[in-house]
Amino acid sequence: MSKWQSIQRQSFLESTARQRAQGLVDDGSFAELVGPLERFVSPHLPELGEAVEFDDGVVTGIGLLGKHPAVVISQEGRFIGGAVGEVGGAKMVGALKLAEQIHARLRKDNPAEAEARRPIVLISFETGGVRLHEANAGLLAHAEIMDQLQNLRGKLPVVAVVGSKIGCFGGMGFVAAATDVVVMSEFSRIGLTGPEVIEQEMGRAQFDASDRALVFRTTGGKHKYIMGDCNFLVEDSVAAFRRQIQEIVGFSMEKIESLRRIGSRSKVDYQMKIVDFAVGVAPKDSTDMWRAVGNEDPQKITDASYDLFMAIAKRLDPAA
């Protein structure tokens, strides 16, 4: 069994950023850009007496999905919780710019093949948001990433892949929401403020961060899928995420645009409709929302296996 085949069988949750980057694209096609040997490290961490990582906790590279070039960004939560600083942020922005350049080059050099070989961007999020050690640089990186996502909109799909231990929180929660498509597993989480921060600021009575079931009911993949914040829910394996991405890469850009959650007046109106709906429900727990959208036994879907959940769970209906 090859290394790539072994990665396919791994839990996405347990995989490193580099394994995820290699496993999401075709066997042997991944080429890392600005890797550890380049030693582009944070200039700020040594000044604060902190250890550095030679890739600054972000793996970037390019591979293939069939005929489609795939630009990959993968964050490593084992280094400062995947927090974004100056170097890691610059690598992410550079990768997004590379995707735009590849798209432009294909359209110029071979317009007849441009659509059939349209690039795709994969961002594997594992982050708590801004790196507090270099907050201003990290905040600027978030803004630059969001700006570049707008430059890519309508040209090529940008897919948020969220399936790692830390999940996707803080400013990167905004970034994930601004991508075209979100793919999660039930073991992943997306949010703006992390559970520990909510408990710290509001008190345990308001939100108990040690209550794992509560945390996942509120920010986890099942909840995000039911509420429409996640487009696709997959099993916890690298192969399962890869299969879903292989399907997405074949979608038309019209279909990709329809999967977005924000970015137009109609989508803002829809989000406001959800807010009004939630106010009417007045939920005390996310399960109240699950019941309101048609899941009569929320506990059953909470405990359900992936296959059973996908078979019985009802989602928020945009037309309702």
Contacting residues for 22 by C-beta, under 8 A, at least 6 apart: 3, 4, 7, 30, 63
Where does the pLDDT of residue 197 fall: very low under 50, low under 70, confident under 90, or very high at 90 and above? confident
Pair 218, 286: CB distance under 8 Å: yes
In a domain, 301, yes or no: no
Classified as helix, coil or strand, 78 is coil
What's the pLDDT at 308?
Answer: 97
CB-based burial label for 162 (10 Å; 0-12, 13-18, 19+): buried
Distances (CA, A) of 93 to 21, 85, 100, 118, 140: 17, 12, 11, 19, 11
> How do residues 272-286 score in pLDDT, each as one tens digit?
999 999 999 999 999
The mean pLDDT of 252-268, rounded to a whole number, is 93
How much is the mean pLDDT over the chain? 94
pLDDT of residue 1: 85
315 within domain boundaries: no
Structurally, the chain folds into a number of domains equal to 1
pLDDT band at 16 (very low <50, low <70, confident <90, very high): very high
Percentage of residues in the chain having pLDDT higher than 90: 86
- Please indicate, yes or no, if residue 16 is contained in any of the structural domains: yes
pLDDT interval class at 318 (50, 70, 90): low
Q: Whole domain around residue 81: which residue ranges?
A: 3-190+229-260
Q: Does residue 76 carry a pLDDT above 90?
A: yes
Q: What does the CA dihedral 71, 148, 57, 19 come to, rounded to 10 degrees?
A: -20
Considering the domain boundaries, does residue 152 fall inside one? yes
| Residue 284: burial class (beta carbons within 10 Å; 0-12, 13-18, 19+) | exposed
pLDDT > 70: what percent of the chain?
Answer: 99
pTM, two decimals, is 0.95
Evaluate whether residue 267 is within a structural domain: no
Q: Would 251 be classed as within a structural domain?
A: yes
Please state, in angstroms and rounded to a whole number, the distance separating the CA atoms of residues 278 and 10: 38
319 pLDDT exceeds 60? no
- Residue 40 domain flag: yes
- Cα R_g (the chain), whole angstroms: 19
On the question of pLDDT at 7 being above 80, the answer is: yes
pLDDT tens digits, one per residue of 106-148: 999 999 988 999 999 999 999 999 998 888 999 999 999 999 9
pLDDT at 320: 52
265 part of a folded domain: no
Per-residue pLDDT at 122: 98
- CATH number, domain at 174? 3.90.226.10
The token pair at 267 is 């989508």
Residue 23: which of 74, 98, 81 has the closest Cα? 74
Of the candidates 148, 173, 143, which has an alpha carbon nearest to the alpha carbon of residue 158?
148
